[in-house]
Structure 1
């Protein structure tokens, strides 16, 4: 039978929750942090029964991190370790632990991850499934263009309002990822002529929808008033399946970033347009086709061709 975790973990986690909430952490972050501590407590119960927060050692933390990477992923270990470190630092400050077992340990390094991108032919094929003058086809075509041309996240696309679309200036006003303390990050995202035309066609079709007075940009069909993130994802995957493409909406963002870099766009501009503050994420998005970009660059610069 599985051994129960030391009761002090649950007791102190309840108190730590109050501290996190008082500091303004979002409910999602609080849940994530508490889940990490709960996972450590369960792991300790399995591998070192009877070990409580005050007894946890640095070597045990190291072993838990290694096991987490092997059981789940590098990204999970990188997310959970700072949460556990925050828990023990709080416990030391509160006098519940004599020392911090994470002291001196570094956040686990990420694996060398790559991210799949879509080819232009695949995007054209998906758009080709939206070739009728119906509400659903015009809506889905506009959604695909917004993803492909604006590089938006799924939540950002789902959160668009009618007022966020400026057809004449070809601009989308987007609320991006933020924190509970600083709020969402707002940015203006330009789109091309074809994307603007697709949005214009959808907005004209949208006027005849029974729920056209709603602020939400994307309206549903088959009696549904709106189309949320799950509905957008399902619509895209349904279109992609028709042409034999396995798709996740975020692949559009990766493709957009990759194409921008391949076309000679500056990294600083890409970070602003994409709403990134971390070079690490930018590097991850560009890694998958870095070799192809390097080959294309050398074909333009080949020394032998200039002799």
Structure 2
């Protein structure tokens, strides 16, 4: 090994350095940084408790044992274990690049196989029902309608929408979104969403903004401050309950629905990739499986020779 980190205190200092690197060099969001901090804090604590540390002494078998602890000792799902491995792998590679370590103990470690889970999309009729449940004449209802319309019209993540400023509406029908790693993308906004936004801006946001200190935020809470991510989740839950869709709707459900409906309508998968802000088209291609399932169901129930019982 190179310059061995000698104890848990040193390892904690190295973790702080890595988190600063993720903040400054990679521009990760606070949510992503929080996930890295939790995963790696748990990793370093486990290394210390099991006398497998410091990190300079970690071997491949130790990394595998940590993953087994997460699966069997803590009962974490495969997706959570995979995320933890990604965090640990990134940390080790950073220390290797910085010359702290001269070998990467995570190279041969494989992530657990993830179950093939297709995203659940609403039907177009269910989206319309959700929007009808959001509609109203109060300031909050006008804001909520604009938010839900924009979630479905843009396919943006909820964190991206609550981070929007008024200036990100760069022209009618065009939205500037800042995604992961602070990467910007341009997203078109349909006429229904644009109309809801205009109504909110003219009739609601102006009033809400007088309740707090000046802020450039597009979506405001009842006290005039930027609407929080958790508040957006809560209001969507309430709208879904009114629409008789309780437990079936989250901001990500609308993102899934956006992608699925575009592909069902004939959109090219690479265009959908750009609109969603996916780094790789392979991430977007899972939605093509959803549309393939839909086509298969329609075929099975409609084609006269789809089954042996057909005429």
Same fold (TM over 0.5): yes
Query: In the superposition, relative to structure 1, how do residues 8 and 255 fare at CA in structure 2: closer, same or farther (>3 Å)?
Result: same
After superposition, the Cα gap between the structure-2 partners of 1:280 and 1:9, relative to the gap in structure 1 and judged at 3 Å, is farther
Whether contact under 8 Å (2:208, 2:220) holds in the other structure is no
User: Residues 296 and 192 of structure 1: is their aligned pair in 2 closer, same or farther, counting only changes over 3 Å?
Assistant: farther
Aligned to 1:249: 251
Q: Is the 1:262–1:293 contact (alpha carbons within 8 Å) kept by the matching residues of 2?
A: no
Q: Distance in 1 between matches of 2:123 and 2:34?
A: 37
Deviations 1:83-118 (A, max 9, x none): 323444566678876854323334444332222222
**Superposition CA RMSD, Å:** 3.4
- 2:86 corresponds to which residue? 82
**What is the rounded CA distance, in whole Å, between the counterparts of 1:89 and 1:269 in structure 2?**
33
Distance 2:99 2:170 in 1: 56
String of CA shifts for 1:114-173, please: whole Å, max 9, x gaps: 222222222222222244333222221111110111111101211222232256x41122
User: Which segments of structure 1 move beyond 6 Å, counting only runs of 4 or more?
Assistant: 92-98, 297-304
Change over 3 Å in CA distance of 1:242–1:79 after alignment to 2: same
Report the number of matched residues: 290
User: Could you tell me the TM-score, scaled by structure 2's length?
Assistant: 0.77
1:238 is matched with 238
Distance 1:248 1:98 in 2: 44
Q: 1:242 to 1:95 in 2, by over 3 A?
A: closer
Give the 5 Å matches for 1:257-268: 257-268=259-270
1:153 match? 157
Q: Return closer, same or farther for 1:300/1:278 CA change in 2, 3 Å cut-off.
A: farther
Alignment match, 1:199: 197
Asked if the contact 1:16/1:90 (under 8 Å) is kept, the reply is no
Contact 2:52–2:62 (Cα < 8 Å) also in 1: no
TM-superposed deviation, 1:211: 1.8
Shift of 1:177: 1.9
| Aligned mates of 1:67, 1:288 — CA distance in 2 | 34
Task: In structure 1, list runs of 5 or more residues that go unmatched.
Answer: 1-6, 179-183
User: Where does residue 219 of structure 2 map in the other structure?
Assistant: 218
Tell me the CA shift for residue 35 of structure 1: 3.6
- Per-residue Cα deviation, 1:204-245 (whole angstroms, up to 9, x for no partner): 213651526742222333x44442322222221111111221
Answer yes or no: is the 8 Å Cα contact 2:11–2:44 preserved in 1.
Answer: no
Q: Are the aligned partners of 1:130 and 1:141 in contact in 2 as well (CA < 8 Å)?
A: yes
Deviations 1:51-101 (A, max 9, x none): 223543323322322343452122322222233234445666788768543
Greater Cα shift, 91-100 or 103-112 = 91-100
How far apart are residue 298 of structure 1 and its match?
A: 8.6
Task: Answer yes or no: is 1:56 the counterpart of 2:58.
Answer: yes
Stretch moving more, 86-95 or 98-107 = 86-95
SS in 2 for 1:173: strand
Q: 1:185 aligns with which of 174, 183, 190?
A: 183
How far residue 33 of structure 1 moved from its aligned partner, in angstroms, is: 4.0
With the length of structure 1 as denominator, give the TM-score of the two structures.
Answer: 0.78
Write out per-residue CA displacement over residues 249-304 of structure 1, whole angstroms, 9 at most, x where no aligned residue.
Answer: 11100110011111111001101111111234213444445311344579999999
Q: Match of 1:209, SS?
A: helix
